[in-house]
Structure 1
Amino acid sequence: MSRHRPPPEELLPEALSPEKLSLEALSLEELSPEELSPEQLWQRAGLWRASSIDCNFTKGVPTGFKVLDEHLPGHGWPADGVTELLHEQYGIGELRLLTPALAHLSQEQNRWLLWVSPPYIPYPPALLNAGIDLTSVLIVKPKTTGDTLWVLEKALSSKSCSAVLAWPGNINAKQIRRLQVASKKGNSWSILFRPGSAAQHASPAELRIQLFAASSPHTSTSINLKILKRRGGWATGMINLHFSDKLNQVAPDFQAPVTDFCEQPLFKIDGRSNGLKLH
């Protein structure tokens, strides 16, 4: 079957036309081993391509955890709309919770997996070990929260992304509602990583899950969670999920803080009409 994934400069067609865009998209397949370090990747580009995942969006995207599928509408992650993952610390397994679905999406859909403003460098061997096609991954680091929200809305509505993972910082209900609309328009799954304290406030997100470390961070073989909000169902009690041996072969979710490698923003947005530009 012939498949075509739009190039990065066409991801946000209204804002990122070639005339308005200055960036380099990296393919991990084209890099030598010594160039595969996160530092090299971030130094060379503001957009990083990575790789692999699937899904038919008529039903839920399988989570890879039977007990979790049983608690979710469609027996899986939603194909579109906003999902919030609320947690107090990084590296407790929040990415390993998503990697089975992301791998499925990267393998079945020829669309991007977009990561927006991640606080840490994702650990490439862990993504590969989970079955994620690194050629489908784009990572962007906007300068401000406002720029992050703008990129999110454009990407979600572009129809070019199967999933958009984002760490948006402070975000209010009105902004989340805009992302919800954009996600539905583009048939794209939006995942927002937010602090655990956000659970105290209402949100228009269709699915809200609070995560808790089951053991020591970075060495956990499981994760605890509560579903706070879901379509067609009540909140749940605590659910414990065990990661498979395959997911435990490479423990870290992340490599190191982004700030370890880049003190300045990787790119900035000089007004909405100018699009993204590298520093």
Structure 2
Amino acid sequence: MLFSSISTQNTRAIAQPQHIHPDLWRGSELSTYTRPTIGTGHESLDAELPGRGWPTGVLIELLIARAGIGELRLLRPALASLDPLQTIALINPPYIPNIVCWKNWLKTPRSIFYVRTAQRRDQWWAAEQTLKNGSCAALFCWTDSIPQLALKRLQLAAQTSQTLFVMYRPLAVKAIASPASLRLTLEPDRAGNLHISVIKRRGALHSKLLCLPRDTHNDFMSTQDGDMDRLAPTRTRTLATALAL
């Protein structure tokens, strides 16, 4: 009887999940994305994300208590690294975008595609079509509620693109399951620092709380352009055109 010998090293290599399928990973380890990732610009956050950055071509959810706590400041380094010839799409942002502020904030001219919808279903449709089109480098979408079926459709649509797709949702949906590949909660403290918790990622559970210090020198702020992260007003009022996101 003949026996074929396989070295221990080769056996371990064959047993690695990624050798079975590139989208498989061990639950105790961080996954490595087969798609490109974009560095967050924050070392502590990169260390906790599969591929050491924001994944493209998937649904990313950032859960926030309210607008203006630093949710755009967090994405600024990633946006600055994108191809300036490609469009950044914004669907139902809390404020009307100010292109001058965006230009000064990112240090280069950008094409901003802004959509405001009256109906929620139109918002989800616009996001899905933008992803399927594949011409935008980044797509940011703000929504207060969305059914699971619509989320699944957006996740599938994102997988057909290489777009950095971020959906801002209320912190209250933290306990509700989502098909998103990456979910983070963002909560500010009184000093304006941003505390980040990774509640879903491709890998082991995350137990640490990350802290992104508030910029002490906001070079993207001026008396004319305002802050890109503007706190939501406590009452309804007309917003000046000088306000940006």
Shift of 1:117: 0.5
Cα distance between partner residues in 2 of 1:76 and 1:86? 18
Aligned partner of 2:62 in structure 1 is 85
Aligned partner of 1:130 in structure 2 is 105
Larger radius of gyration: 2
Aligned partner of 1:267 in structure 2 is none
Size of the aligned set, in residue pairs, is 200
Aligned partner of 2:44 in structure 1 is 67
Asked if the contact 2:140/2:167 (under 8 Å) is kept, the reply is yes
Change (3 A) 1:156 1:132: farther
Q: How does 1:195-210 map to 2 (within 5 A)?
A: 195-210=170-185
The letter of the residue matching 1:223 is L
Shift of 1:256: 7.6
Aligned partner of 1:236 in structure 2 is 207
Q: What SS does the corresponding residue of 1:83 show, helix, strand or coil?
A: strand
Asked if the contact 1:145/1:169 (under 8 Å) is kept, the reply is no
State yes or no: 1:152 paired with 2:130: no
Aligned partner of 1:104 in structure 2 is 81
Cα distance between partner residues in 2 of 1:128 and 1:255? 20
Shift of 1:127: 2.9
Query: Tell me, which stretches of 5 or more residues in structure 2 are unaligned?
Result: 1-33, 222-226, 241-245
Shift of 1:244: 4.4
Cα distance between partner residues in 1 of 2:99 and 2:239? 16
Asked if the contact 2:59/2:167 (under 8 Å) is kept, the reply is yes
Under a length normalisation based on structure 2, what TM-score does the superposition of the two structures give?
Answer: 0.73
Q: What SS does the corresponding residue of 2:80 show, helix, strand or coil?
A: helix
Cα distance between partner residues in 2 of 1:245 and 1:146? 40
Cα distance between partner residues in 2 of 1:58 and 1:246? 34
Cα distance between partner residues in 2 of 1:245 and 1:162? 29
Shift of 1:248: 5.8
Cα distance between partner residues in 2 of 1:163 and 1:206? 16
Q: What SS does the corresponding residue of 1:231 show, helix, strand or coil?
A: coil
Asked if the contact 1:85/1:193 (under 8 Å) is kept, the reply is yes
1:177 to 152, 155, 158: 152
Comparing 243-252 with 83-92, which one deviates more in the overlay? 243-252
Under a length normalisation based on structure 1, what TM-score does the superposition of the two structures give?
Answer: 0.65
**Deviations along 1:37-69, whole A, 9 cap, x unmatched?**
xxxxxxxxxxxxxxxxxxxx9542011111101
Identity among equivalent pairs (%): 32
Larger fraction in helix: 1
Change (3 A) 1:165 1:82: same
Cα distance between partner residues in 1 of 2:189 and 2:174? 19
Shift of 1:246: 5.2
Shift of 1:134: 4.1
Larger fraction in strand: 1
